[in-house]
Chain A
Amino acid sequence: MRLIFTVLLAGLAGAAVAQDTQEPPELVGGSVRTNTAIAVPVMPGNMIGRQVSEVIASDLRSTGLFTPIGPGGLPSYSVEEAGNPAYPNWRNAGVAALVSGYIEQRPDGRMTIACYLHDVTAGRTLANQGFAVSGNDWRRAAHKCADLVYSRLSGQQPFLDTRVVYVAETGPKTNRQKRVAIMDSDGSNHRYLTIGRNTVVTPRFSPRGDKLVYVSHIGRRPRVLLYDVASGSERLLIPGNHITFAPRFSPNGRSVVFSMANGGNTDIYVVSVDGGEPRRLTSAPGADTSPSFSPDGRQIVFESDRSGTQQLYVMGADGSNQRRISFGGGRYASPIWSPTGNLIAFTKIAGPFRIGVMNAGGGGERILTNGWQDEGPSWAPNGQFVMFHRTPQGAGAARLYAVPVNGGNARIMPTPVGGSDPSWSPLNN
């Protein structure tokens, strides 16, 4: 009998303890795939306030995550209200977030653009930052503000204050002029870097965005050139008469990996940007080309036809341990390692040309686009978008597009002329 009661007591005590330590209840939130409505009213304090807000709204729209409202049609507010808005009024406007701010002239002649992001529903400020810029650079401050909003609301790294270089194509197909052009990622501040005397292809930014490498056909022979963006000067990467092409910078910017044709074979080499003797990394029969470093600089992905068709391979940065990573059928070209290191973007050739991504070790292949001829991928610096060029079936010039890597529609990039071979810059300083 005593035993029975002891067991009963132990059970009751255990139950009591269990009640005290029970797990708290769980609330499960939804994951609604909808764009967040953001009000972007005109910033007070300066005549350019409307333009600043327009740039911010346009940037946010380009991310595909938000539905910006304004600046037109929204009520104005004072400088004092920028940091302390009337949340109930904005709730009534049906928006979830508000981007406010003001523009202030500084004694040194520059201006400060203050940027605030508010959670209208919760009634609190999520982020705020001021950007001091010269009068001509107000667009950069607007991009920075948009990056602040994008980054805070998406959890992703910023990417809007960036530039793009590409091959601007003008003229008829039989006599097309190809020049390297540079622009902000929203298409503004567009200018040509080369005059078009020689056809140029595959411009690539350096990791700091201050230099480019590209291929120029000099005397009908492709040659890799190194270009300084600030000064506009250019020089041959490899002196002499070698056929060199498909260049890319290493992650530290101190060397360039490229292809060189020599004795009927095309292999991959690496050379210091300061000159010196190129070091050969591949030697297999066939064409090894389109090399791209992993972000940690330890590996290189490249394409090769050593197996009979174009496929993707990975090797150590010293050329060791070469192995194939593409097995999905069809041909694979122009691989590029993502800035986050986990993915490789490529051009898949299986009938049409499409842009796809796969895991860095191979496998997990996903096709992102569905155009007739999509090729030449380039990653946004945050690894969330891939830019490429699309050539329409039949007549028509190629245009630049950007597609979200996690799914979504490709959007056309605002270039004044047709373009190909885009390269997305790192985030501006």
Chain B
Amino acid sequence: MKLDRAEWTGTGAALLFHVALIGALSMSLANVDSTPEPPAMEVEFVEDVGLTAAAPQSIAVPPPPSQAPEIGEADPVEAPPVVQPRPRPAPSPVVKPTPPKPAAPAKPAPRVSRIGDDFLKGIGEAPSRSNAPPKAAAPTFSAKARASVGQAILRQVQPCADRQPFIGEDANQVRLRVNLKLARSGRLIRPPTILGMSGDPDLRSKYGDLLEDQVRRIFAECTPLRLPAELYDTADGGWNDFTFTYRVN
């Protein structure tokens, strides 16, 4: 393949242009100011039943400041009550609300947040903003964890519940409220306890014992249960003490 004059000229020009471009880049002529990227967010997958705080406990690099204009001082905020039924926390002192100040005229202050520094005050489990090394979060038996554990227990015993025999056409109108006391091994510490029964008195009398028999059989046959050890007994409760209702379909 032979190149004619025009082709040689074009090729040479292209080569010269590329050399010039590389040179320009090397001399930082193409450098452009840019804001630093925020640190990468760590994402980890957790099981259905997870600890309350699965995210990193502290943020080493402070987030970029808000660039929104300041339109007023933040109102004092009491933190929402943390669900901690056990032990019951002492009543926190009432935070005297600061009277709202009239909104200051808008002025450019792009590096000041609208949210006050104390917006996390009162949330004991909130991640620390200090530079101290991160502490492991204490497991809490939140409502979500409670629901997940409950579903896990029922899921594990459902095959045994499904095998229970028919006891009467109207037996499904009676409901038992049952409490379990469980050991860490997932076995019952004592037989299931019937806390209460609802339904027509005659039907309760007729089917109460039979339904209790079924509950006992179910948990004799389908235990030990396999549940997250860290949620066995937390400050907020745990699956060592579990209450559910039972009925037949």
Contacts and interface: CB of A to CB of B under 8 A. Distances in A.
A2 B249 contact: no
B220 A27 contact: no
Contacts of B217: 96, 119, 121-122
A63 to B, nearest CB: 13
B214 interface: yes
Contact of B218 (A16, A22, A29): A29
A27 B154 contact: yes
B161 A28 contact: yes
A27 B209 contact: no
B249 A119 contact: no
Interface in B139-181: 143, 147, 150-151, 153-154, 157-158, 161-169, 171-172, 177-178
A98 to B, nearest CB: 14
A96 B216 CA distance: 13
B151 A25 contact: yes
Contact of B248 (A12, A24, A29, A126): A29
A16 B158 contact: no
A360 B172 CA distance: 24
A199 B15 CA distance: 131
A331 to B, nearest CB: 29
B157 A31 contact: no
B165 A32 contact: yes
Nearest to A126: B213
B248 A28 contact: yes
Contact of A2 (B100, B151, B154, B243): B100
Contacts, number: 117
Task: Give the interface size class of chain B.
Answer: 35 or more
Task: Give the interface size class of chain A.
Answer: 35 or more
Interface in A360-385: none
A31 B165 contact: yes
Contacts of A34: 165-166
Given A2-B100, A24-B150, A31 B75 contact: no
Contact of A27 (B97, B158, B166): B158
Interface of B: 72, 75, 77-78, 80-81, 83, 85, 97, 100, 143, 147, 150-151, 153-154, 157-158, 161-169, 171-172, 177-178, 191, 206-207, 209-211, 213-214, 216-218, 220-221, 243-249
Given A28-B249, A32-B162, 20 more contacts: A1-B100, A2-B97, A9-B80, A20-B83, A22-B143, A23-B245, A24-B150, A24-B245, A27-B161, A27-B178, A28-B161, A28-B247, A30-B164, A30-B248, A31-B164, A31-B172, A36-B165, A119-B216, A121-B217, A124-B191
